[in-house]
Amino acid sequence: MGRLHRAFRIAWISLRYRLDTLIPLDRLPFFLVLLMRINPAKLFPLHDYTRGERLRLALEELGPIFTKFGQMLSTRRDLLPPDVADELRKLQDQVAPFPAVQAKATIEKALRMSVEEAFAEFDTNALASASVAQVHAAKLHTGENVVVKVIRPGVDKIIKEDVQLLYMLARLVLRLVPDAHRLHPVEVVADYEVSLIDELDLQKEAANTSQLKRNFLDSPLLYVPAIHWQFTRPNLMVQERIYSVPIAELDTIRAHKVNMKKLAERGVEIFFTQVFRDNFFHADMHPGNIFLDTSKPESPRYVAIDCGIVGSLSVEDQNYLARNLLAFFKQDYHEVARLHIESGWVGEGTRANEFAAAIRAVCEPIFEKPLKDISFGQVLLGLFQTARRFNMEVQPQLVLLQKTLLNIEGLGRQIYPELDLWTTAKPFLENWMKQRIGPRGILKKAQEKLPDWLELVPELPQLAHEGLSQLRHWQQDQQQQRLILTEMRNEIARNRRRNGQLIVGVLLFALAIVAGLGDHLLPLLEGEWQPWVLGGISLLVLLRR
């Protein structure tokens, strides 16, 4: 019943904000255009909102999952009209805040003390507000400026209802679309559900933030604010306040004479460092979560917040991904095809040369072009058609990474459109592969395993003794089996000798009868009994053999 009620609410909000007006009629089949002409949604007024405002307000009212979708769209200005992209950008940190009274009640219940006891100062006006939580500025009694992040009341219920609706849609797609099994829609929703549930737990976010801070400690690339653990709970997090420029304010950044090319290249380097060096990446890197330290314009440093969604890969996926990317950068499409087949990412029986030719046709036009000249919409469409042709399956464990890469690419396009993504990333991946499989990598792995090997040293005598004991028991078993086989052969031989003696005795007895009866048996041997007598003698001879 909850899912049905949620579905009706989604339909009602879509009608109220006239989202049907955002559908381009010139790209629809004739019968759909006809349906849109007689659409009952036209009974609802458009009000004075622009199309961007209608979309933003609808996504905001629909809840966290839809808001996050709008956040991701806002980074892709190559796919949206400027007025829509500008409006959706407000979803990054300008969602309508919930009342400060509720925020204070949540804080006091979590800390079991009043806001005045916990903080020397607390600003009741929200500093920023997003789909899952909002942030208030505050000061500790020790004098440190902090931000207090509070989960929205009741947001968990909305998210659970939306996730159940997504599961229903995923199962419906599996039933209605024959090729949908390749996309693993249910598994993708399951992974997304885990990310959303984790985002509701601010203690997990705090732990992720601490890990990311350790990974980039004293790094010129990225700064991560510190966590104040004594004030952190599952629905509350207190963090060091940073005073940096939001990455979306490009005019302000340019006014500080920041090296934009260096800034874009460092963004790519941060992404690949997180994915391959640390295997721990910030998976919600939309502009609302990224700031810039402009104190050194020629050496700009990013500042990252909101680590509620992070990702990591298995060692196998990490290796396959790195080798695939390197093969792409080298335009070695046969190697790309071989790796996809070897990893099981394409259907069984796929011919490497055919798959390589199909990938080449899609990817070759995009190389040696800056971001501003690449139509990623066409590239993604071409790759999807190729995937369908070769039964390529979506890898749910890579979906989060792909989403992050889209965010990074969209951000890079805004910062420095002339960025050569391939040239920037290729040296980093080559160095990583050398460190992984070269002499240094082997030595490093040996050093990592050395403590485990040393732990086994005191046990080696016991292990050797047990091994020798097992070998001795095995030898004894083998010896016993050989004795049994020898006894069986001897018994068979004895039986044969006894049978032979019996047959000889019978033959001698028969001869004695023949000799004793003499002429009385001769007529029998010459008559009709002759075959039977000779047959009996022959049978005795065969038995002897």
Contact in structure between 300 and 262 (CB atoms under 8 Å): yes
Q: How far is CA 507 from CA 321, 502, 503, in A?
A: 86, 9, 6
Q: How many CB atoms lie within 10 A of CB 73?
A: 20
Q: How many other C-beta atoms are found inside a 10 Å radius of the C-beta of residue 110?
A: 19
Contact 216, 57 (CB under 8 A): no
Supply the DSSP symbol for 94. Answer: B
Q: Which of 107, 102, 122 is nearest to 241 (CA)?
A: 122
Output the six-digit token pair for 422: 């391939």
Q: Which of 162, 284, 306, 420 is catalytic?
A: 284
Rg from Cα positions in the chain = 39
Q: Decide: residue 332, CB within 10 A, 0-12 exposed, 13-18 middle, 19+ buried.
A: middle
CA 400 to centroid of chain Cα atoms:
6
467: which 2 tokens?
């091994």
Helices (H), 201-279: 202-215, 250-255, 260-272
Answer yes or no: are the C-beta atoms of 230 and 142 closer than 8 Å.
no
Give CA–CA dist 155/349, Å, rounded.
47
Locate 286 and state its tokens.
């939309």
CB–CB of 269/160 below 8 Å? no
- The residue type found at 162 is D
Structure tokens of 117?
A: 């006891």
Distance CA 518, CA 514 (A): 6
CB count, 10 Å around CB of 517? 11
Instruction: Confirm whether 123 is a catalytic residue.
Output: no
Instruction: Please give the structure tokens belonging to residue 1.
Output: 């019943």
* Residues annotated as catalytic (active site), given as ranges: 284
